[in-house]
Amino acid sequence: MKKILFAFAIIAVSIAVFAFTQPAQVSKETTLQDVWYSFNGTQGQVTDRTKYSNTYNNTNPGCANDGDVCAIRLPNSGSSLPNQSDFDAIKSTIQNSQNSNTSLHSSIGMQQ
């Protein structure tokens, strides 16, 4: 009889421990590092995603002092081209920066 009571006690304690604890949340989202994508087209093509390529390092590629877009900084897509949705999110900023000749944005390499 003592063995049965002991077994039930062990089961009850196990249930109590596992019933009131939750497993740790594991994030499936990975944080990608931002990288620079150099612009390799003419200034009329600044909103064409295929004209940008990953420089494969995390340093600003540097810009000429001419007001033209020369690079953008976006999350690493894992390929040589920027991710389409990330690029679309910044496309209007690229266009507005070029039109207004704004100097250096945090995510666009551009200098006057």
Q: What is the pLDDT of residues 81-95, one digit of tens each?
A: 999 999 999 988 888
Closest CA to 49 of 59, 60, 38: 38
C-beta of residue 35 within 8 angstroms of C-beta of residue 54? yes
Q: Report yes or no on whether pTM surpasses 0.85.
A: no
Question: What residue spans define the domains of the chain?
Answer: 34-110
C-beta of residue 112 within 8 angstroms of C-beta of residue 101? yes
Token duo for residue 75: 């999350």
Mean pLDDT along residues 42-62:
83
Q: Whole-number mean pLDDT of the chain?
A: 75
What stretches of 61-101 adopt beta strand conformation (E)? 69-75
Q: What is the pLDDT of residues 3-23, one digit of tens each?
A: 777 777 777 777 766 666 666
